[in-house]
Amino acid sequence: MTWNPTTGCDKISAGCKFCYAELMTKRLKAMGQEKYKDGFELRIHNESLMIPYSWKKPKTVFVNSMSDLFHKDVPLSFIQDVFKVMNNNPIHTFQVLTKRADRLANINHLLTWTGNIWMGVSVEDSRVVERIDFLRGCSSLIKFLSCEPLIGPLVNLDLRGIDWVIVGGESGRKSRPMDENWVIDIMNQCNKTNVAFFFKQWGGKNKKAAGRLLNGKTYDEMPTLKLAKFSA
Ligand code: SF4
């Protein structure tokens, strides 16, 4: 399930090169979808704020798959409105992912963090590892890294305070390759530090064929132990 109270974005680091949201936006605009009529320009959608109230069964929701909630052009008041919706809908788990970890850190104290909000940062290569420090300082119960698309090695990560790491390769015609050794190294770091490890996919030109086996196994760990402790 995705929920997009904002749409549109700007590229900020190498992980954005083949942005999925930009590609999808082009398609949705071409299909005449009103929400995407301005293409990839950042837009606020007040009308989308009520959507989670209509979901009656518990859902896991990826917030802003078509944008970045912490983009500089999203007003603080609107980010607070989005958080209010998440606070008011505790049956749903909201996963928020950003590349603007510095803004997240700057406004963290102005947001209300309920246990159903999982906060993550994208870490695609070693040039952006400082995002992990910004995330560590934020008040979400669950903190996660999305190392996707992984385009370089991530050695000696500081995983203190991090609960979950997702790794995935880039997919598409021009996708950049992901070295198996990078993935295994991240998995070993997670094992050493007791961080849940989720391997999403190898990606590549034919992501279905490439699959998601690592060492002949799937890795689908979730940060559930911490959640169980929280709700106990
Ligand atoms: S931050 Fe995310 S949505 Fe924005 S351009 Fe980069 S990949 Fe796309």
How many CB atoms within 10 Å of residue 127? Answer: 12
What lines the ligand 1 site, CB under 6 Å?
9, 11-12, 15-16, 19, 21-22, 67-68, 99
Condensed to tens digits (0 to 9), the pLDDT of residues 203-232 reads 999 999 999 999 999 999 999 766 776 666
- pLDDT band with cut points at 50, 70 and 90 for residue 170: very high
pLDDT for 84 equals: 98
User: By percentage, how much of the chain surpasses pLDDT 90?
Assistant: 96
SS3 216: coil
Condensed to tens digits (0 to 9), the pLDDT of residues 133-153 reads 999 999 999 999 999 999 999
182 CA to centre of ligand 1 in angstroms:
23
pLDDT for 224 equals: 78
Mean pLDDT of 164-168: 98
Atom of ligand 1 nearest to the CA of 67: 3
130 CA to centre of ligand 1 in angstroms:
17
Tell me how far the alpha carbon of residue 30 is from its chain's centroid. Answer: 26
Mean pLDDT of all residues in the chain? 96
User: Which pTM was predicted?
Assistant: 0.95
Phi, psi dihedral angles at 87 (to 5 degrees): -60, -35
User: By percentage, how much of the chain surpasses pLDDT 70?
Assistant: 97
pLDDT at 123 exceeding the cut of 80: yes
Atom of ligand 1 nearest to the CA of 20: 8
Distance between CA 148 and CA 125 in Å, rounded? 9
91 CA to centre of ligand 1 in angstroms:
28
Q: In terms of DSSP bridges, do strands 43-44 and 6-7 run parallel, antiparallel, or are they unpaired? A: antiparallel
pLDDT for 202 equals: 97
- Residue minimizing CA distance to atom 4 of ligand 1: 9
Q: What residue type is assigned to position 99 of the chain?
A: K
Atom of ligand 1 nearest to the CA of 11: 5
CB 110 within 8 A of CB 77: no
Condensed to tens digits (0 to 9), the pLDDT of residues 7-32 reads 999 999 999 999 999 999 999 999 99
- pLDDT band with cut points at 50, 70 and 90 for residue 49: very high
